[in-house]
Amino acid sequence: MNIKTIGIITKNADEAVASTVRKLYDFLTDKAYTVIFDDNADGLLADKQIEICSREVLAHKSDLAIVVGGDGTFLSAVRTLADYDTPVMGINLGRLGFLVDISPVDMLDRLESILAGDFVDETRFLLHAQVISEGKVISEADAFNDVVVHIRDVARMIEFETYINGQFVNFQRADGLVVSTPTGSTAYALSSGGPLLHATLDAMVLVPICPHTLTNRPLVVNSESHIEIVIGENKQSTAQVTFDGQTAFDAKPGDRILISKKSSPIHLIHPSSYDYYEILRAKLRWATQL
């Protein structure tokens, strides 16, 4: 990578964020990099004159983006950065940290190596989904983890049909369906009983949420598959379509949700010591001995 401008994306400013961002800014500007910030940094470094811009402008200008926060902040950032082919790395200030894998404690040493060209560049894909009602696209969005079709009202199931590449798969009564990337297989899909997919697999997984028929099981398909979910005509079947748990749209009976692989991938930058299985061991506590 030929890096001249680095964008920093943050979550809402708190003491931990401010301290981490200040260290990053001082480190990078001392090395003569141009540093820009997204809107959330407004007021973060009050004693310095920093450039603040929209996330879209930041993505366009940056040769590398650094996300300071947790997985939620990272998910939000990736959905913007993928459209601009901007590589991204994460500093973990959240709780779980499957995606943001660099600790604030050693971030400067890690960053030093990355800027020197010693890193792992991992390509991952996102999903794109449309909600179609009466033949018209009424909403659409991207997801890095998952697209979830689920109940909107408490204690009610929805009815829906699933098609893959135009072929009928099944009819389900359930609380919903998770359509997940390999990245998202450690998120909602996992808690719904889905398998772990290695992050580099070219596949998607469909995981039913509390299906009424217990023989309904997760289904892994090729990432080039086109998935269609049709909400049942039963008027009790009001649903929502949620993207990474952060954006949601209503889906009425008869509406169709089309889900496919987004054409623009995202490049995740990891330290050269990055170990996917070590992250699984740490986050899922596989190494814990009772």
Catalytic residues: 71
68 contacts 37 by C-beta, under 8 angstroms: no
Nearest to 263 by CA among 86, 130, 145, 127: 127
Max alpha carbon distance in the chain (Å)? 63
Angstrom distance (rounded) from CA 250 to CA 240:
4
User: Residue 35, exposed/middle/buried by CB under 10 A (0-12, 13-18, 19+)?
Assistant: buried
**Virtual torsion, Cα 266, 268, 269, 274, nearest 10 deg:** -160
* Integer angstrom CA distances of residue 76 from 135, 240, 244: 29, 19, 8
The stretches of 160-249 forming alpha helices (DSSP H) are 188-191
Both tokens assigned to 155: 């204690």
How large is the C-alpha radius of gyration of the chain?
A: 20
Both tokens assigned to 262: 């987004």
